[in-house]
Amino acid sequence: MLDERDRKLLFLMQQDGSLPVTALAEHVALSVSACSRRIQRLEEECYLDLRITVLNRRRMGVPTTLFALVKTAHHADEWIESFRKAISDIPEIVEAHRLTGHYDYLLKLILPSVEHYDVIYKQIVRRIELFDVSASISMEVLKDGLTMPVSHAR
């Protein structure tokens, strides 16, 4: 069971994963050793999936975000697995979601330019049959998805 200190630690760690344990301990009013033990427990209880460094997309040369909505005529498990494999090694596809509603899948791509989408599109359709693909370009990020609420954790 998580308490408020645990939630605050999780919040702080996802805001800035480079914060040293000494700073985290100070923020949650714990000794460094007690804070370290809590972090270890949170890791063991799988509250932390992994610790990563978020790179600057402009400096990395991929400032463009594009969302591709995919329709398929196939819904068998084998096709879904083939689709998963077809997109898995394309690094520009950073997220893929199976959806309810009018479209079957949503792909989030980060690209060096809008024009580069055609390269990725051709890679996908060479690997797997799709019924329809519709793409939308993100003009501005109003909120990113790098953090999540910690208040619902138990």
| pLDDT at residue 147, as a whole number | 86
The 10s digit of each residue's pLDDT in 12-58 is: 999 999 999 999 999 999 999 999 999 999 999 999 998 888 999 99
Does the pLDDT of residue 154 top 90, yes or no? no
The 10s digit of each residue's pLDDT in 116-142 is: 999 999 999 999 999 999 999 999 999
Give mean pLDDT, residues 91-103: 97
Predicted structure pTM score: 0.87
CA 102/CA 140 separation, integer angstroms:
25
Mean pLDDT over the full length of the chain? 96
| DSSP string of the chain, one letter each residue | ---HHHHHHHHHHHH-TT--HHHHHHHTT--HHHHHHHHHHHHHTTS---------HHHHT--EEEEEEEE-S--SHHHHHHHHHHHHT-TTEEEEEE-SSS-SEEEEEEESSGGGHHHHHHHHHHHS--SEEEEEE----SS-SS---STT--
| pLDDT at residue 145, as a whole number | 83
> Do residues 9 and 28 make contact, with C-beta atoms less than 8 angstroms apart?
yes
| pLDDT at residue 128, as a whole number | 96
Domains of the chain, with CATH numbers?
4-44 (1.10.10.10), 57-137 (3.30.70.920)
> Do residues 87 and 96 make contact, with C-beta atoms less than 8 angstroms apart?
yes
Give mean pLDDT, residues 60-73: 97
